[in-house]
Copies of this chain bind each other. A is one copy, B any other.
Amino acid sequence: MSRKATTDKTPRAKPSASTGRFSYEGLDRVLHEKARLGILASLAANPDGVLFNDLKQLCALTDGNLSRHLSVLHEAGLLETWKGPTGPRPQTMCRLTANGQRRFTEYISVLEQVVADAQRDTQPATPPPLSKRRSPA
């Protein structure tokens, strides 16, 4: 039996062979921003909705920061908010829209790709000495 040379294990692909391979275009900045990612994860974990004050606590955000990020998500159509009955302590309920759920799922699939890339490419802690191949100027 003969084995084709192209099936041989190669240490790494030639970088120039894959333009944009690591551009991760799917990491939409609206969702990727750290605080908003936490908000989206909280809401995905609680599809019935989360009260503003609970969300603040889950994401460890201040009132102002949470409000600002909720506005961004709302303007992007990912989030809907509901005002509770008026009274001495009016509350706001936040929930993902169907579009928000879909976009978050798509975003997570890109994150899975990032994790898979990193897991595949993890090398031993000590890299080969670059200085043996190329002297710094």
Chain A residues with CB under 8 Å of chain B are: 12, 15-16, 18-25, 27, 29, 32, 34, 37-39, 41-42, 44-51, 53-55, 57-61, 82-86, 90, 93, 95-96, 98, 101-102, 104-105, 108, 111-112, 114-115, 117-123, 125-128, 130, 133-137
Contact = CB atoms under 8 A, between A and B. Distances in A.
B38 A22 contact: yes
Contacts of A57: 15-16, 19-20
Contacts of A112: 115
A98 B47 CA distance: 41
B22 A130 contact: no
Contacts of A95: 127, 130
Oligomeric state, in copies: 2
Given A15-B57, A22-B42, 15 more contacts: A18-B58, A20-B59, A20-B60, A23-B38, A23-B61, A27-B34, A27-B37, A44-B117, A44-B121, A44-B122, A83-B137, A85-B135, A93-B134, A104-B118, A111-B114
B48 A130 contact: yes
Contacts of A39: 22
Contacts of A98: 125-127
B130 A45 contact: no
A93 B34 contact: no
